[in-house]
Amino acid sequence: MELKYYLYCFADLVLIATSLIYGIKFLKKGNILLGGELLVVTFSATNLLVNALTEIPMYMNVSLFCDAFSRSFGIPVIGIAGLMAATHRFKPSTFVDVLLFALGLVVTVVVWAGDFMKEPKPYLYLALWSAFSLFLVYFAVRLVRAGEKVQALGVILAMAFAQAIASIYDFYHIPGDDDHVIFYTFALLAWSLLGVAMYHAYCALERTQSRPQTLS
């Protein structure tokens, strides 16, 4: 096995670990949206790794479906709604949480299986991810205003890395990377960094809101 395949498996393991750890951390904070979405990523990455080790197509198909869920609804809609718990004190009920995931599943099936979506799908993914990136910029601004400049920088770096991956995902192939292993290695690491940065930035903004207000 070539070195690049070992690096690919390592990046996948990193994503499995980070998404699982921080997904559970979000759930413990009562944020079902972000916790649930990160666990979807864990499930997707696990199937991707099993496919890499066994070459059984079913696991790749499951991973790709979960990837479609995250790119079409999980990150841009559920992700923003989850982060709004820190920016706008948005606390949806459990019913709304479940409803959002159910709606995301329906949207994914349509995007995944609909023949009419084949041509616009890459542009839809890019537009939705770009909207999420804009929200992260807003999130970073909120962090700066709260005095959390380090966390703001972390969010911006993670956002830029993930946005770069999203921007070339369906539009550019790295020369010589015929099986896309090099690209996916970078993508897996980008998503790992994004999950970690989101959690720590979320906690930082949450802490600032719990500080007592003083009159100047």
- State the pLDDT confidence band at 58, using cuts at 50, 70 and 90: very high
61 within a domain of the structure (yes/no): yes
Place of tokens 């944020």: 31
78 belongs to a structural domain: yes
* pLDDT at 8 (0 to 100): 95
215 is a domain residue = no
- Is residue 125 in some structural domain? yes
* Cα-to-chain-centroid distance, residue 57: 24
Structure tokens at 43: 């499930």
Q: Which structural domain range is residue 187 located in? A: 3-210
What CATH number has the domain bearing residue 32? 1.20.1070
pLDDT tens figures, 80-133: 999 999 999 899 999 999 999 999 999 999 999 888 898 999 999 999 999 999
Which of 19, 60, 77 lies closest to 193 in space, CA to CA? 19
Residue 206 lies in a domain: yes
Name the pTM for this structure.
Answer: 0.92
Q: Is residue 177 part of a domain?
A: yes
Assigned domain for 132 exists: yes
Q: Does any domain span residue 15? A: yes
Task: Report the C-alpha gap between 91 and 84 in whole angstroms.
Answer: 8
